[in-house]
Amino acid sequence: MTAGWIHELFNQFDLQWNLVHGPSLETLTDEEYLWEPVPGCWSIRPTGPGGRGEFEAWPDPEPEPVTTIAWRLSHLAVGVFGLRASHYFGDGSLSHENAERPLTAKEGVAYFKEQALQWCSHVERLDEEGLARPVGEPEHAPVASLVLHVNREALHHLAEVSLLRDLYRATEGARLA
């Protein structure tokens, strides 16, 4: 792998974030963040100790429920960026149990950005040897494969967030069903 590919792996997410997704999240409202377009949505709920935000998940029902922007940003912040940065580059201390689950758009976007930036700061510093190092996700693949997977997952869910925002604006926040 050449230095050009290292640059491309980092920029795959960074370009989309800076051009499309990052700036648009600055205007996210609490109403959009927690909007439940259909009954039975998964979201972040104040059901934890002291009203702390809790993530609705597991086991996955069939069919999987529609999720709120809050849920998707929390999934990205913790499951996509945070846990991987903590496990592969840090001390492994972040877990689903101790992760933040913000209940407001401002706090949710800030937490998402914090976790994404931690991940990106590690990826940006990788060299050829670091990208070739085997990891367990997917099984025995190089770190480069993990970076590609994280990028795909992030861009996929951020596109869903954008679609949910479009639906919220088009329906003026009404329930769809």
pLDDT in tens, 121-163: 999 899 889 999 998 766 689 999 999 999 999 999 999 999 9
Structure pTM? Answer: 0.91
Question: Can you state the angle between helices 3-16 and 143-171, rounded to 10 degrees?
Answer: 20
Stated length of the chain = 177
CA distance 57 to 120: 26
Lowest mean pLDDT, pick from 10-14, 67-71, 84-88, 115-119:
10-14
Answer whether residue 3 shows pLDDT above 60.
Answer: no
pLDDT value at position 2? Answer: 54
pLDDT value at position 137? Answer: 65
pLDDT value at position 7? Answer: 78
Q: What percent of the chain has pLDDT over 90?
A: 68
CA distance 37 to 116: 26
CA separation, residue 174 to residues 34, 70, 114, 160 (Å): 12, 17, 31, 18
What average pLDDT does range 73-96 have in this prediction?
96
Q: Position 69: which residue type? A: I
Decide which of 3 and 142 is more confident: 142
Domain annotation for the chain: domains and CATH numbers: 3-171 (1.20.120.450)
Q: Considering just the CA atoms, what is the radius of gyration of the chain in Å?
A: 17
Residue 134, phi then psi, degrees to nearest 5: -75, 145
pLDDT in tens, 90-122: 999 999 999 999 999 999 999 999 999 999 999
Q: What percent of the chain has pLDDT over 70?
A: 97
CA distance 135 to 100: 26
CA distance 82 to 90: 10
